[in-house]
Amino acid sequence: MGRVKIARKSTFIDMTAMSDVTVLLLTFFMLTSTFLQKEPTTVITPPSVSTEKVQETNFVQVLVSPEGKVWLTMNNDTSSSWSNEKMRMALLDKVSEIYNESHKNKVNFNVAQKQAFAKLGSFGVPLQQMGEFLDLADQQEGQTKMDKWLSGEDENPNHITGIPVSWNSDENTLNEFQMWMKALRQTENDNLAQAIKDGTGVAIKADVNTSFDIIHMVMDNLQTIHMNKFTFLTALKAGE
């Protein structure tokens, strides 16, 4: 009886096809991706049947945390003469001007601080601490320190997170949030001013479980400075 010979087969698997597919997928994701902006707080926007898409440019996002803290993010039309950097610089000038009109303790920013501000993503610290905050940019691990301050994970108890906001219906004694919003309209960026007038320029982003009290305060603040039209950021509702 002859022994049956089993041919030895190579276990080498050809990975070329697999590699082709993964490269294709990778290309797809690289081209379609827009990176998640790092935000000081994570919120889940409420579901809605509205199918209006969010604006790509010319709007200011007002991020509201469930505790009632407020941060701003600028989204400017980079194709026009107003880049994000230029807009932020103009905004900082304007807001300090408005602030100094009504406060004895004046705020002033040097060139380095202004340039640091121009590079910020979201921002939200009281104006009195803004200088100290912007100085962090030149330090070692400055970005991490700034992020920590913005998200309220800072160890320093003196560092206040969020733009100060409170109930206020008096146009003559604006709070800092109202000053920022007013300053936005007064920078000579016509595109943004028009968008704010149309109601697409201000987008409020808040968590689905944030209490109405806090949203109401933000809405009331905007109403006081005659910004009666704005949008809520929502997520698409499944079904219905």
Contacts with other proteins by CB under 8 A: the residue count is 63
Specify the 3-state DSSP secondary structure of 133.
helix
Spatial distance between the Cα atoms of 174 and 160, rounded to a whole number of angstroms: 19
Which residue among 11, 51, 79, 81 contacts other proteins (CB under 8 A)? 51
Q: Does 189 bind other proteins (CB under 8 A)?
A: no
By rule CB under 8 A, what string of x and - marks binding of each residue 209-238 to other proteins?
A: xxxxxxxx--xx-xxx-x-xxxxxxxxxx-
> Least separation, in Å, of the C-beta of 42 and other proteins?
13
Type of residue found at 120: L
Q: How far apart are CA 44 and CA 207, in angstroms?
A: 5
CA 9 → CA 12, 13, 15, distances in Å? 9, 11, 17
> Interface with other proteins includes 240 (CB under 8 A)?
yes
Q: Nearer to other proteins by C-beta: 54 or 112?
A: 54
Looking at 4, 36, 158, 172, which residue binds other proteins (CB under 8 A)? 36
Contact 123, 71 (CB under 8 A): yes
Indicate if the alpha-carbon torsion angle 82, 84, 90, 95 is positive or negative: positive
Q: Which residues bind other proteins (CB under 8 A)?
A: 12, 14-19, 22-23, 25-26, 29-30, 32-36, 45-55, 169, 199-200, 203, 205-216, 219-220, 222-224, 226, 228-237, 239-240
